[in-house]
Structure 1
């Protein structure tokens, strides 16, 4: 494996030399996250303008080689848990294994094998004595939660003590189109969020940044707060909000138009969420 020190600004999926499994130092996790990339062809059903995936294409993943994925995950965990991976690759202050995350170079739930992958990860974690000690996380845009194979995967995640990080960058049709290049009605997003939260512990993950030097419009922020307030009023069991800014450079055509928001701006918006919706908010500027 690579001897280059991992950083929060480099999430290169190829550095471990594997097809599906890669390690990252995650600022939101506060340690090492073992990523499982079910989209090795760099294909996604969305195209977020802040996405760091190179050569991103529209589409879904090829068939998943479950045996290879299991072998790679076992090899990675052996190196981390029983070997000297941490000493070789991770800054001293980040040398803790936090989670296994279904994430990668596209939407992981677009893999028809998604539920099987969840079960596979559970088996391997149990082998290493890690089940219940580290998290199993799904990082998703939530757009396919209405599909039966995704819901089955979420049920299996819940049984393993997993959690969902559900992307919600904007809450208007126009905002979703602009930031995520997806054609979705906010009602569909809300319905999928409600379903996800009912099946597995769910956090919202929201990326905020400047576009052409301007922060998100107040109308967009108000629509976002309205959606969260509705979820709270209707008893949707959200665990909270992961509010974060840009950490790694975008590889999309809009990259030059994007900028980081001040820490104070994110903190102020986090306070608005807490005051309006009564939710836990964690910020990562």
Structure 2
């Protein structure tokens, strides 16, 4: 694998495995052990900022649970050593922060998601160094109403689990332009409540500029109002993860997107905190 991991390179083949890959995450501030359930590069959304090459519309393929378990066990045996950290991680990131269901598409489209979670947690339990490590699901939330997904989330909740639930826009036009989906916001709201009721959940939001413009006030107002409504409805959210573009998009129209500066993002974070009372972690 590559000798030194960086926040700018989240290559899924860094470990030359089918389902397991390590990254250094800005949000994790350490090494994240990624679990890729979409090696076919298929997703049910098409986000404008996605870094997956050759992205296609679809779902995760059938997962060989034995292969995934073997890869994870072998990789954790390496990554939990000082030697691996010294060779592959920068000094400021020589710690395992989490095991994250992420990868090259929406992980909850895997039809055996609950069984996969069970296998992953069983492997994790065999490594004492992982006892306090988080298990994270990074998701667009579109499948959070499915019974097998909720079963997986409840299992995660028993093992220091956390859901990062994508809400990039609270308007129909914004969700179509940013996420390539026409799924109604009402469904996102219901799924957010379902996820948050099953497992500790944070809203995850990517912000960026397009065609030289920052997000409109109408978009920002709708987004903040959405969060306020969730708080009023007592959705048990734990916070917001706000982040900008760290790596270039590999999707059509990528040349139209640009990073927002830290001052703008921190300003939005303060606005969200003031309006909702939720803690916001922001990364430009």
Shared fold, TM over 0.5? yes
Residue by residue, what CA displacement relative to the aligned partner does 1:5-50 show, whole Å, maximum 9, x if unpaired? 1000000001211000000000100000000000000000000000
Q: Runs ≥4 in structure 1, deviation > 4 angstroms?
A: none
Q: Is the 8 A contact 1:3 1:88 kept in 2?
A: no
Q: Which residue of 1 aligns with 2:34?
A: 35
Q: Which residue of 1 aligns with 2:12?
A: 13
Gaps of 5+ in 2: none
In the TM superposition, residue 82 of structure 1 has moved relative to its aligned partner by 3.2
| SS of structure 2 residue aligned to 1:115 | helix
CA spacing shift, 1:246–1:233, aligned 2, 3 Å: same
Q: Which residue of 2 aligns with 1:256?
A: 255
1:125 aligns with 2:124: yes
Q: Which residue of 1 aligns with 2:172?
A: 173
In the TM superposition, residue 132 of structure 1 has moved relative to its aligned partner by 4.1
Distance 2:223 2:81 in 1: 44
Residue by residue, what CA displacement relative to the aligned partner does 1:186-220 show, whole Å, maximum 9, x if unpaired? 11111111111011000000000001111111111
Q: Is the 8 A contact 2:80 2:129 kept in 1?
A: no
Distance 1:161 1:264 in 2: 32
Residue by residue, what CA displacement relative to the aligned partner does 1:143-167 show, whole Å, maximum 9, x if unpaired? 1111111111111111122010000
Q: Which residue of 1 aligns with 2:202?
A: 203
Q: Is the 8 A contact 1:132 1:161 kept in 2?
A: no
| SS of structure 2 residue aligned to 1:177 | helix
Q: Is the 8 A contact 2:273 2:279 kept in 1?
A: yes
Q: Which residue of 1 aligns with 2:282?
A: 283
User: TM-score with structure 2 length normalisation?
Assistant: 0.98
Distance 1:30 1:83 in 2: 17
1:70 aligns with 2:69: yes
Q: Which residue of 1 aligns with 2:228?
A: 229
Q: Is the 8 A contact 2:209 2:260 kept in 1?
A: yes
User: TM-score with structure 1 length normalisation?
Assistant: 0.98
Q: Which residue of 2 aligns with 1:93?
A: 92
Q: Which residue of 1 aligns with 2:113?
A: 114
Q: Which residue of 2 aligns with 1:81?
A: 80
In the TM superposition, residue 4 of structure 1 has moved relative to its aligned partner by 2.4
Distance 1:182 1:142 in 2: 12
Q: Is the 8 A contact 1:274 1:281 kept in 2?
A: yes
In the TM superposition, residue 234 of structure 1 has moved relative to its aligned partner by 1.3
In the TM superposition, residue 80 of structure 1 has moved relative to its aligned partner by 1.0
Q: Which residue of 2 aligns with 1:194?
A: 193
Q: Which residue of 1 aligns with 2:155?
A: 156
Residue by residue, what CA displacement relative to the aligned partner does 1:245-271 show, whole Å, maximum 9, x if unpaired? 000110001110000001000011101
Distance 1:122 1:256 in 2: 40
| SS of structure 2 residue aligned to 1:127 | coil
